[in-house]
Amino acid sequence: MEYLLAVILFAVSSSVTPGPNNIMVMTSGLNFGIKRSLPLLAGICVGFTIMLLLVGLGFAQLFDLFPSLHFIIKCVGTLYLLYLAWLIARSAGAVTAEHQAKPLSFMKGALFQWVNAKAWVVATGAIAAFTTIGASFYTQNLTIALTFFVVSFPCVGVWLLFGSMLKNLLTSEQNRKWFNYSMAALLVLSVVPVVKEILTQLTHR
């Protein structure tokens, strides 16, 4: 239960915080409305789920060849996630967007994940931090992907449904600060069980 809660907290905090996906969805919602933007929302959520599965499969093969690599990547991935939390906490969170001629399609939303730097950090960090070597690796990989799939729709959807409200809210420096602090705290909280696991592995070496 602690494991699933940690994955859920991480999925929520990383999905709802300002980033390329959410800015893109919010802009589309403001310019073209909810209905015309739904394909983009679905493309982002489905695309990132597929990305998580493929990244996980690639990691599994590497871990079979180099078992110690998993621990190293877990440490590096955890540091990345803490660094991401620090960036979120100190960020002004200004929301800017360029005008689009037409809403992006499902496929463009899905393919965008592979050039989205935040998506790569989140995907590699999640796989490295929330998986263990062994027969359960593929089950954990599937659990992480399905959790993100379920969580990402409402989290990213918030930016679509309440785009203009969030945009106005985040223009206030004070509100931006508290929003970012809250999301950074959730991100750190989600990493706590992983840090405990790393410390346990270090003490038993």
The whole-number pLDDT of residue 170 equals: 63
The per-type count for the chain, helices as H runs and strands as E runs, is 9, 0
* The token pair that represents 52 in the structure block: 């998580």
The whole-number pLDDT of residue 48 equals: 95
The whole-number pLDDT of residue 143 equals: 92
The pLDDT confidence band at residue 169, using thresholds 50, 70 and 90, is low
DSSP E strand boundaries for the chain: none
Q: Tell me which residue has tokens 């989205």.
A: 116
Whether the full predicted model's pTM is greater than 0.85, yes or no, is no
Which of 67, 193, 59 has the alpha carbon at shortest distance from 130?
193
| 71-116 per-position pLDDT tens digit | 887 788 778 778 877 876 776 544 444 444 677 889 989 988 887 7
The whole-number pLDDT of residue 46 equals: 96
The whole-number pLDDT of residue 156 equals: 92
- Answer whether 184's CB lies under 8 Å from 190's CB: no
| 30-82 per-position pLDDT tens digit | 777 788 889 999 999 999 999 999 888 887 677 778 878 778 877 887 787 78
In whole numbers, what is the pLDDT of the chain averaged over residues? 81
Q: Decide which of 169 and 32 is more confident.
A: 32
The whole-number pLDDT of residue 96 equals: 47
* The token pair that represents 119 in the structure block: 């998506």
The whole-number pLDDT of residue 89 equals: 77
Whether residue 154 has pLDDT greater than 60: yes
Give how far the C-alpha of residue 172 lies from the chain's centroid of Cα atoms, to the nearest Å. 24
